[in-house]
């Protein structure tokens, strides 16, 4: 890490989440009532950056927003959490949005419209300098995959640890997984990427190519696989969820921040699991993420 530069760089999406609480999903052609509407800063990249910063990580965000009110709000939300936004690109497209239905019981259904996140930009010198100076690069798949793959390959080439949330699951470029140090899929993403039905077999298979696979399983906790074997299970932290949006992002952000802080892998995984569970007890993605002083007493 270089002095004055962030030790964690998150390259990813920033969306304004347009969230409706509703009892269930409507059928095609049906009109139904929801019970509330809110706009909430989200996007998997922004969420991971804020989650890491809330528990003490030094984070820079490499994202793209439009010159509209949503873009300004997202930059402000990141900066308010202490995230460095100097390298957030302003592009000539509307800021990305996510249209989220939160159902009774806390589950959600999400449609993302990438807009600014989808602008095809190469990895520029400012971004390369930020990655080179960091210890961890964290990415997801809501930015163009060629950019994500370029960033991951570059980070690997300069000795920066690469952490990848493969969400949404997409067909991967050749040799992509070989550049991944820590892959954090949920069970569905793991099954889809590995092309096998059993989630544990999927985690094992992926870990033969990526360094470590941490597969999140919602209320069933997480599983760690390395070299084709399951090496650890992370127990769940029991809560009553009201909104699971952003829980996976909280897990990844906190895992990286705690590893950067010097925690052992089991301690960082436990902190990530507790933080993700806490995030589900509050509405919204980024506003639901806990601070270190909330997580620490529960460990
Ligand atoms: O992972 C949750 C996030 O997915 C939401 O905040 C939404 O913006 C989508 O990117």
Q: Using one digit for the tens of pLDDT, what is the confidence trace for 132-159?
A: 999 999 999 999 999 999 999 999 999 9
Decide if pLDDT at 94 tops 90. yes
**CATH class of the domain at 8-14+44-96+117-289:** alpha beta
Cα–Cα distance for residue pair 101/142, rounded to 1 Å: 19
**Whole-Å CA distances, 149 to 129, 139, 210, 213, 237:** 17, 9, 14, 18, 33
pLDDT band at 1 (very low <50, low <70, confident <90, very high): low
Q: Relative to the CA of 16, which ligand 1 atom is closest?
A: 8
Distance from CA of residue 177 to its chain's centroid?
A: 17
Decide if pLDDT at 174 tops 90. no
Q: What is the pTM of this model?
A: 0.96
Report which of residues 295 and 105 the model is more confident about.
Answer: 295
Residues 270-284: tens digit of each pLDDT:
999 999 999 999 999
* Three-class DSSP labels, the chain: CCCCCCCEEEECCCEEEEEEEECCCCCCCCCCCCCEEEEEEECHHHHHHHHHHHCCCCEEEECEEECCHHHHHHHHHHHHCCCECCCCEEECCCCEEEEEEEECCCCEEEEEECHHHHCCCCCCHHHHHHHHHCCEEEECCCCCHHHHHHHHHHHHHCCCEEEECCCCCCCCCCCCHHHCCEECCEHHHHHHHHCCCCHHHHHHHHHCCCCEEEEECHHHCEEEEECCEEEEEECCCCCCCCCCCCHHHHHHHHHHHHHHCCCCHHHHHHHHHHHHHHHCCCCCCHHHCCCHHHHHHHC
Cis upstream peptide for 88 (omega within 30°): no
Decide if pLDDT at 4 tops 90. no
Asked if residues 252 and 48 have their Cβ atoms less than 8 Å apart, the reply is yes
Task: Out of 14, 100, 106, 286, give the residue to mutate to test ligand 1, the one with the largest number of ligand atoms within 8 Å of its CB.
Answer: 100
Residues 20-53: tens digit of each pLDDT:
999 999 999 999 999 999 999 999 999 999 999 9
- The question of whether 175 is a catalytic residue gets the answer no
pLDDT, residue 296, reads 96
Ligand 1: residues within 6 Å at CB? 13, 15, 17, 42-44, 47, 98, 110, 112, 142, 245-246, 248-249, 285
* 105-132 mean pLDDT: 94
Task: Out of 12, 13, 14, 15, give the residue to mutate to test ligand 1, the one with the largest number of ligand atoms within 8 Å of its CB.
Answer: 15
Decide if pLDDT at 2 tops 70. no
CA–centroid distance, residue 173 to ligand 1 (Å): 23
Decide if pLDDT at 104 tops 90. no
């Amino acid at each position: 890490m270089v002095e004055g530069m962030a030790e964690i760089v998150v390259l990813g999406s920033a969306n304004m989440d347009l969230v409706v609480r509703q009892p269930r999903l409507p059928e095609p052609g049906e009109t139904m009532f929801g019970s509330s509407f809110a706009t909430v800063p989200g996007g998997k990249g922004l969420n991971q950056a804020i989650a890491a910063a809330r528990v003490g990580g030094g984070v820079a965000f490499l994202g793209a927003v439009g010159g509209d009110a949503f873009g300004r709000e997202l930059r402000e939300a990141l900066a308010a959490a202490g995230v460095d936004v100097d390298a957030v690109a302003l592009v000539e497209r509307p800021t990305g949005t996510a249209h989220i239905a939160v159902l009774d019981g806390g589950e959600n259904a999400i449609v993302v419209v990438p807009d600014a996140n989808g602008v095809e930009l190469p990895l520029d010198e400012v971004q390369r300098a930020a990655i080179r100076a960091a210890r961890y690069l964290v990415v997801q798949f809501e930015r163009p995959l060629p950019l994500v793959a370029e960033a991951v390959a570059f980070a690997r080439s300069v000795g920066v640890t690469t952490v990848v949330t493969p969400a949404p699951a997409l067909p991967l470029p050749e040799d992509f997984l070989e550049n991944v140090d820590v892959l954090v899929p949920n069970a569905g993403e793991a099954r889809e990427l590995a092309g096998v039905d059993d989630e544990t077999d999927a985690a094992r298979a992926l870990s033969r190519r990526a360094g470590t696979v941490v597969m999140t399983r919602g209320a069933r906790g997480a599983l760690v696989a390395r070299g084709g074997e399951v090496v650890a299970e992370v127990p769940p932290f029991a809560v009553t969820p009201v909104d699971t949006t952003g829980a996976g992002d909280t897990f990844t952000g906190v895992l990286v921040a705690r590893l950067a802080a010097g925690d052992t892998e089991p301690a960082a995984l436990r902190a990530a699991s507790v933080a993700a569970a806490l995030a589900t007890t509050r509405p919204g993605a980024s506003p639901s993420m806990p601070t270190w002083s909330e997580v620490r007493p529960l460990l």
